[in-house]
A and B are shown apart, each in its own frame.
Chain A
Amino acid sequence: MTQPEVLVEASALTKHFDDFVAVDGIDFEVRPGEVFGFLGPNGAGKSSTMRMIGCVSPATGGVLRVLGADPATDGPRIRARLGVVPQEDNLDTELSVLDNLILYGRYFGIAKPVLRQRAAELLDFVQLSDRADSKVDPLSGGMKRRLTIARSLMNEPDLLLLDEPTTGLDPQARHLVWERLYRLKQDGVTQVLTTHYMDEAERLCDRLVVMDGGSIVDEGSPSELISRHVTREVVELRLAEGASETEALASIRTSGTRTETVADRMLIYADDGDALVAGLLDGGLRPESVLVRRSTLEDVFLILTGRTLIEY
């Protein structure tokens, strides 16, 4: 198979589980060298889409081409050129770290001497060389995830699929994973990832689609999406319980300025947050806390769907 112009191409792609529609007719394409993301909350259909791209779940409807071939008929040939980092680690707990890499490479029919060399390089890449002979179980969550990333690279894939690559990791471990994925991007490895972390999507993705309820709500680069849907800044207000609304706040609500309410916070979208806050304080508003911050993909999602990415 030669390298096609588009690595993944989906149109009207659909996945049903009995009566449940997990993926509801989505269109997207992934181009060589980019990091492409699916951003959405749990249950948005991201993992189902990933499994279809990974050729381990047949599409119910629509068209899907992966690396120029049809997953329905060419599954093994396509999978031979994919690297997969699943949401739940499925490392082989009966084998050592090194044997996990070598055995996984054997599943791809690659010769042992080649695998030994690759495994050594990849352990170095994910900073686990000193744990080569360790069993898998004692490793921390971040180490297991890095090992899974190393494992996914054993066949030198043309396309890397990462399903929620940092879910469940502590902040330090997440940064280490992001840094490795960024290195791979610089090396030209095409990546498709799902995430419900807006900071992960902003940091890693060149282009992403926002998914909700099995559908794609919008598509673009993180900065495009932000400038398309939200103002530059957001003011987050936390109002005292039972506090009466001031006129200033009421006038904002009626002025056409975009506001959203999330749990006990009120979000006000403004190009100049500080000026807005000054106006509110002058108008007699006494909030419990005020925060002016840059708009993020979280705000994009909130405005597009009326809901937050992570359930509160």
Chain B
Amino acid sequence: MTSPVLHYVEREALVYRRLWKGVAFSHFVQPTLYLLAMGIGLGGMIEAAGNQVDGLSYLEFVAPGLMAATTLQSATGEAMWPILAGFKWMGFYHGMAASPMQPTDVYLGAIIWIGIRLTFTATVFLIVATVLGAVLSPWGVLAIPAAVLCALALAAPLAAFSATQETDHRFPLVLRFITLPMFLFSATFFPLSQLPAALQPIAWVLPLWHGVELCRDATTGTLGAAGWAGVVVHVAVLVAYVTAGSVWGMRAFTRRLTL
């Protein structure tokens, strides 16, 4: 007998069996557009002025940042509307709760499924970045787990938050006030040192900067100033987010499904 957690994945896989071709193609669109605009367009202008960023071309600098940031952006959507749909609009979580599946199985299944989807998103991004010459090292492959871990650091608590909501009214606020600022100010488009020193610690406590640094280490094949210790800290922070989010999520799902 398979683990009840995997029945969730089985359900999503059944739904996606018919949809995946269309979805797969659209996954290539976003990274291509972002990398063309930022890396080639904006980057070309920066390089024409004879500038580099931390010894990298702008494309090489921005590609890992965008990879972590767009994966996180996808995670935001995946951890809000589909979760509330499971409770409310489609209600299939209640069907699961009537079976031997526990609410914790439903939550963990949802997180695992988001992880599978994000792995696909990140892989496609890396392929496009490689084709455009933005990946300098074979270590770049490790940017995939780094981007997925970073995105789950947001998805795990966000899925818990979604389980406490009755409507989707607050979801756009999450995008506007959490995802977007992180997207812009986590060393994605420019080094953190460009920010006023007082603002830099904000990036340190949020997940995305850690993910960006890990992805950048991987695609450039060069560790940051802190060396391996930096990698350990980044991973530890992200794992802490996932763990704390999962504890909250298992509680929130249990509360919602066992009234």
Contact = CB atoms under 8 A, between A and B. Distances in A.
B85 to A, nearest CB: 9
A56 B258 contact: yes
A108 B7 CA distance: 9
Interface of B: 1-2, 4, 7, 10-11, 14-15, 90-92, 94-102, 257-259
Contact of A84 (B14, B98, B101, B102): B98
Contacts of A99: 14
Closest 4 CB pairs of A and B: A107-B99, A90-B91, A76-B100, A84-B98
10 contacts: A56-B98, A57-B258, A76-B101, A79-B98, A82-B98, A95-B15, A107-B4, A107-B7, A107-B99, A109-B7
A121 interface: no
A32 to B, nearest CB: 21
B259 A107 contact: no
A106 B10 contact: yes
Nearest to B93: A90
Interface residues of A, number: 30
A107 B90 contact: no
A18 to B, nearest CB: 11
A75 interface: yes
Contacts of A91: 95
B99 A103 contact: no
A109 B2 contact: yes
A75 B4 CA distance: 14
A48 to B, nearest CB: 9
A80 interface: yes
A108 B98 CA distance: 10
Interface of A: 17, 51, 54, 56-58, 75-77, 79-80, 82, 84, 86, 88, 90-95, 99, 103-104, 106-109, 151, 155
Contacts of A76: 4, 100-102
Nearest to A79: B100
A173 to B, nearest CB: 21
B80 to A, nearest CB: 17
Contacts of A107: 4, 7, 95-96, 99-101
Contact of A54 (B90, B98, B101): B98
Nearest to B91: A90
Contacts of A54: 98
A79 B99 contact: yes
Contact of A58 (B7, B15, B258): B258
A92 B100 contact: no
A79 to B, nearest CB: 5
Contacts of B95: 90-92, 104, 107, 151
Nearest to B97: A56
Contacts of B10: 103, 106
Nearest to A104: B95
Given A56-B258, A107-B100, A109-B7, 14 more contacts: A56-B257, A56-B259, A57-B258, A77-B100, A90-B90, A94-B15, A103-B10, A104-B95, A104-B99, A107-B7, A107-B101, A109-B1, A109-B2, A109-B100
B84 to A, nearest CB: 14
A86 B90 CA distance: 14
Most chain B CB within a 10 A radius of its CB, from A79, A88, A94, A155:
A94
Contacts of A86: 94, 98
Contact of A92 (B2, B7, B90): B90
Nearest to A83: B98
Given A57-B258, A103-B10, A109 B4 contact: yes
A169 to B, nearest CB: 19
A93 B91 CA distance: 9
B157 to A, nearest CB: 25
B109 to A, nearest CB: 11
B50 to A, nearest CB: 54
Contacts of B97: 56
A77 B96 CA distance: 14
B99 to A, nearest CB: 4
A90 B14 CA distance: 17
Contacts of B90: 90, 92-94
Most chain A CB within a 10 A radius of its CB, from B4, B14, B98, B100:
B98
A134 to B, nearest CB: 14
